[in-house]
A = this chain, B = another copy of it.
Amino acid sequence: MTAEIITIGDEILIGQIIDSNSAWMAQQLNFIGIKVKQITSVSDSETHIIEALNAAIQRADIILMTGGLGPTNDDLTKPTLCKYFNTGLRFDETAYRDIEALFKQRGREVTPLNRMQAEVPENCKTIYNKNGTAPGMWFEEKGKIFISLPGVPFEMKSMMTESVLPWLAGKFNLPPVIHRTILTQGIGESILADKIKEWENALPADLRLAYLPSVGMVRLRLSAVGEKKKTSAEINSQIEKVLPLIDKYVFGFDDDTLQSRVGVELKKRNATLVATESCTGGYVAHLITSVPGSSAYFKGGIVSYSNEMKVDVLHVSADTLKKHGAVSEETVMEMAENAKRIFKTDYAVATSGIAGPDGGTQEKPVGTVWIAVATPDKIINRKLQLGNKRLHIIEVASQSVLHLLLKDLV
């Protein structure tokens, strides 16, 4: 069973909005075993919409559209669908009551323009919209299913969840698609590929492997179609085989993040953490505190961007700073060790480096970063060399110190 998503709206084609609807829809369709063949964004133009529909029915069984259902003249999806299916409009009383209720809630009268939104093509099943004025439409025509939904994300999402997805799952008895993603940090795509080459070449034909790189990370996704229990078992047995080859780099699975994994492990131990940062400038603390509930283990952070603050708050010795410099093994070790002691935590992380573009020297070029982790019984550290892009250095150094901490925790 395959689908195509067509997003309708000039605002997408001039880059005014990023289309996040189709990624969400694709994910949801995948979960119930429907494969998305193509995502197409077209303009608010009758010709273009019809051209896209004609192309989509060559490729897919289900065509989902979003957008173009507003009350104004530039919203063309409904009249275009009437033309495409050669049908007229009917007035949907229930849809109208939804619109009335919404206006009442806002203390307003329904305008004639909004009243017209309760009109739907005669040949469609209405998909009711509790959160907005545009009802959705479900058509079974030309041996295909056509679904039209509003483009407002929260309206579309609730209509998908409450109507479209259950209707689709009920109509077709679908084999699910199973995905499992391994998350790695600190290794490039090509070196990773090299390490698992033999395993990859020996994968059974029904399993697909994808490399998904992003800043500082590579995700490895294994996918297969089939009965859930059997397919999951097959994927899991392959994961067990590959993990020992790359365990130094693996930090989690699926929706995990470094910061969420660190949180889980600290909570297990009832342990606390403090972050001291120089070159990462607060980004480590930001990652940690982006996790809901992080106040349970995160006591706080010191962004010691000046030497003064390193000495006054973190008690790094002026002698160390003078002898070895702020970006040095010695300084970062003192930052971690002292922070753990001063703030009475179980763990501390520390970063110090040169994020550039200025401040590099021959001996310590831009991108040189020292990271350290103080644990209840030791301090560990690493030196990194992270290229010369400021934000890239900040992000990768932050990930690296969280990963170094996580490796000690698991």
Contact = CB atoms under 8 A, between A and B. Distances in A.
Is chain A's binding surface mostly helix, strand, loop or mixed?
Answer: mixed
Interface residues of A, number: 111
B292 A299 contact: no
Interface centre among A72, A308, A358, A359 (most CB of B within 10 A): A72
A300 B275 CA distance: 13
A94 interface: no
A395 B210 CA distance: 32
A217 to B, nearest CB: 12
B38 A14 contact: no
A80 interface: no
Given A285-B281, A303-B285, A70 B19 contact: no
A138 interface: no
A290 B37 contact: no
Given A70-B189, A290-B391, A302-B300, A26 B15 contact: yes
A289 B282 contact: yes
B283 A286 contact: yes
B13 A37 contact: yes
A300 B305 contact: yes
B24 A385 contact: no
Interface stretch (A85-93, A107-115, A232-240, A327-335): A107-115
A145 interface: no
B212 A11 contact: yes
A281 B292 contact: no
A303 B301 contact: yes
A71 interface: yes
Interface string A290-313: 101111001111111110110011
A12 interface: yes
A385 B105 CA distance: 8
A38 to B, nearest CB: 6
A284 interface: yes
Interface string A57-77: 000000000000011111000
Contacts of A304: 300
A371 to B, nearest CB: 16
A152 interface: yes
Given A290-B391, A356-B292, A389-B154, A189 B71 contact: yes
A193 interface: yes
A406 interface: no
Contact of A13 (B26, B275, B309): B26
B190 A113 contact: yes
A27 interface: yes
A397 B369 CA distance: 30
8 contacts: A14-B179, A74-B211, A106-B387, A275-B303, A281-B285, A289-B355, A294-B305, A301-B302
Interface of A: 10-20, 22-28, 30, 35-44, 48, 52, 55, 70-74, 102, 105-108, 111, 113-114, 131, 133, 152, 154, 177, 179, 181, 189-191, 193-194, 200, 208-213, 219, 221, 223, 275, 277, 281-286, 288-290, 292-295, 298-306, 308-309, 312-313, 343, 355-359, 367, 385-392, 394
- Of all A-B residue pairs in the complex, the 7 with the closest CB atoms, nearest first, are A281-B289, A282-B285, A15-B27, A15-B26, A301-B303, A282-B282, A39-B41
